[in-house]
Amino acid sequence: MSRQYETVIGLEVHVELATRTKIFCGCSTAFGGAPNTHTCPVCTGMPGSLPVLNKRVVELALAVGLATGCSINQYCKFDRKNYFYPDNPQNYQISQLYLPICHDGGVEIETADGGKKVVGIHEIHMEEDAGKLIHDEWEDCSLVDFNRSGVPLIEIVSEPDMRSADEVIAYLDKLRLIIQYLGASDCKLQEGSMRADVNLSVREAGAREFGTRTEMKNLNSFKAIARAIEGERTRQIDLLESGRPVIQETRRWDDAKEYSYAMRSKEDAQDYRYFPDPDLTPVVISDEMIREIRNRQPEFRTEKKARYIKEFGLPEYDADILTGTKRLADIFEEAVAVCHRPKKVSNWLMVETMRLLKEREMDADRITFSPEHLAKLIGLVEAGTVNGSVAKEVFEKIFDEDVDPERYVEEHGLKMENDTDALQKTVAEVVEANPQSVTDYRAGKKKAMGFLVGQTMKATGGKANPAAVNQILREILEEKQHE
């Protein structure tokens, strides 16, 4: 009988803060600039340059700490973490070891059995990102771009409170939502503005001591994280079952091969010789600053969801989905502010938007269309300018290319055909051309009606008002029957 094992997981989550400038200099943090166009003597580690702390970084770190129930170190400071690597121009990273800004918080997650549990947050500290290294295949050298060097990060270190991949995903989802609602970061895993390192160990069920843990890096999607956890759990159990020890090390997850590899340890091992950074002054956080940030906290998901149900009369299910990502909630509110049709906006988001997201394999975070265009489209449907099927077609254009629906409908001649005389004539022609369907209809095959409606819609290029077509057709068919 094989032994039962328990997986113990803790996470180190790095989140890139949504500031305009870097943490210690006035260089831009904009994504995608040409190499080294956002650099200066400070973020390239030139001797004699001096860092000055960006106030916004402290505010955002505080906001995240308060929203996750952390205690605040009202006297905090920065330390140097020393190591040599070409992406680290100062030969040290400025971080916080001794007095991190936030500590001892937690977020509540839902577990698989429907229960709730709190995942503890050990601490949150502020630090700077490193540069980007590219390996040049041709010349056997590496190239460094320091645009990311000095971009502000917070590292959120959890307690080893998670026991499964599901709990890890639930924790990350919750964390991401809180941070997005705060506007502290966009938290895009794929683009690296949120990164998670997984610390994992296994132990026999019921054991009190933790097993030896490994740290896994290079996880850039929720799916990769789930697969890496399963893979590493299996690897460690296999080792223990065959009587071999788990070695404490850093491993790199290869999502394509679904296996983790030990990263070759740098010659100098993990000895960072932290010491207080003498270039930076301590940060003293006043009660007033904490109060101010607390007052500025936005409406979080629970309150927002309740408000959507109460104020807009949305079903709980819809309210739950819409508040599940900050992006959807923002689009919903902005569109409603323009067209005042909450249920219609919700329907477009719940049905067509969800369908297109699934089809395009996209996260809601990546939606780019403007809410006003959705509001305008709803206006066009309400005014009877376009019919339902044309509206869906136009919406797809809005979703993909953010077209202005009014102009698009105008330019493509998609206005609904309400001209009864013209429609009457088209329907008559369709009936004339399809005697068999007319006979079928009379013989009681009501399905024939659908075919004739379809033919008429086709003849009008899909622009006819379906209600009008139905009515005219029925009149003609009934009439013929009485002849």
Partner 1 sequence: MANVISDEVIDYVGILAKLELSPEEKEAAKKDMGRMLDYIDKLNELDTSDVEPMSHVFPVHNVFREDVVTNGDDREQMLANAPEAKEWQYQVPRTVE
The residues that touch Zn ion, with contacts defined as CB under 5 A, are: 25, 27, 40, 42-43
- Of 68, 165, 171, nearest in space to 119 by CA: 171
The helix (run of H) or strand (run of E) holding residue 9 is strand 5-16
Helix H, strand E, coil C: the string for 67-110 is HCCCEECCEECCEEEECCCCCCCCCEEEECCCCCCEEEEEEEEE
Work out how close the CB of 283 gets to partner 1 at its nearest, in angstroms, rounded to a whole number: 6
User: Would you say 35 or 160 has its CB closer to partner 1?
Assistant: 35
Q: Which option in Zn ion, partner 1, none does residue 209 bind, with CB closer than 5 to 8 A by kind?
A: none
Q: Which option in partner 1, Zn ion, none does residue 112 bind, with CB closer than 5 to 8 A by kind?
A: none
Work out how close the CB of 261 gets to partner 1 at its nearest, in angstroms, rounded to a whole number: 9
User: Would you say 6 or 254 has its CB closer to partner 1?
Assistant: 254
User: Would you say 151 or 182 has its CB closer to Zn ion?
Assistant: 151
Q: Which option in Zn ion, partner 1, none does residue 425 bind, with CB closer than 5 to 8 A by kind?
A: none
User: Would you say 209 or 267 has its CB closer to partner 1?
Assistant: 267
The burial of 24, by beta-carbon neighbours within 10 Å (0-12 exposed, 13-18 middle, 19 or more buried), is given as: buried
- Of 126, 124, 123, 143, nearest in space to 135 by CA: 143
| Strand-pair category, 5-16 with 92-95 | unpaired
Work out how close the CB of 10 gets to partner 1 at its nearest, in angstroms, rounded to a whole number: 24
Work out how close the CB of 255 gets to partner 1 at its nearest, in angstroms, rounded to a whole number: 15
Contact 109, 170 (CB under 8 A): yes
- Of 249, 300, 241, 279, nearest in space to 63 by CA: 300
Q: Which two tokens stand for residue 272?
A: 């960072």
User: Would you say 136 or 287 has its CB closer to partner 1?
Assistant: 136
Q: Which option in partner 1, Zn ion, none does residue 434 bind, with CB closer than 5 to 8 A by kind?
A: none
User: Would you say 16 or 161 has its CB closer to partner 1?
Assistant: 16
Q: Which option in partner 1, Zn ion, none does residue 384 bind, with CB closer than 5 to 8 A by kind?
A: none
CA 291, CA 288: separation in Å to the nearest integer? 5
Handedness of CA 320, 180, 157, 99 (dihedral sign): negative
User: Would you say 267 or 361 has its CB closer to partner 1?
Assistant: 267
Q: Which option in partner 1, Zn ion, none does residue 86 bind, with CB closer than 5 to 8 A by kind?
A: partner 1
Report DSSP letters for 309-371, one per residue: HHHH---HHHHHHHTTSHHHHHHHHHHHHHH--HHHHHHIIIIIIHHHHHHTT--GGG----H
Work out how close the CB of 251 gets to partner 1 at its nearest, in angstroms, rounded to a whole number: 12
User: Would you say 40 or 354 has its CB closer to Zn ion?
Assistant: 40
The burial of 311, by beta-carbon neighbours within 10 Å (0-12 exposed, 13-18 middle, 19 or more buried), is given as: exposed
Work out how close the CB of 55 gets to Zn ion at its nearest, in angstroms, rounded to a whole number: 16
User: Would you say 90 or 193 has its CB closer to Zn ion?
Assistant: 90
In three-state secondary structure terms, 295 is helix
Q: Which option in Zn ion, partner 1, none does residue 36 bind, with CB closer than 5 to 8 A by kind?
A: partner 1
Work out how close the CB of 21 gets to partner 1 at its nearest, in angstroms, rounded to a whole number: 5
Work out how close the CB of 38 gets to Zn ion at its nearest, in angstroms, rounded to a whole number: 7
Work out how close the CB of 294 gets to partner 1 at its nearest, in angstroms, rounded to a whole number: 19
User: Would you say 36 or 370 has its CB closer to partner 1?
Assistant: 36
Work out how close the CB of 292 gets to partner 1 at its nearest, in angstroms, rounded to a whole number: 14
Site residues (vs partner 1, CB under 8 A): 19-21, 25-28, 34-41, 44, 46, 52-56, 58, 77, 82, 84-86, 133-136, 139-146, 252, 263-264, 267-268, 271, 273, 276, 278, 280-284
- Of 358, 300, 236, nearest in space to 107 by CA: 300
CA 319, CA 311: separation in Å to the nearest integer? 11
Residue with tokens 């301590």, as numbered in its chain? 282
Q: Which option in Zn ion, partner 1, none does residue 283 bind, with CB closer than 5 to 8 A by kind?
A: partner 1
CA 165, CA 98: separation in Å to the nearest integer? 31
Q: Which option in Zn ion, partner 1, none does residue 276 bind, with CB closer than 5 to 8 A by kind?
A: partner 1
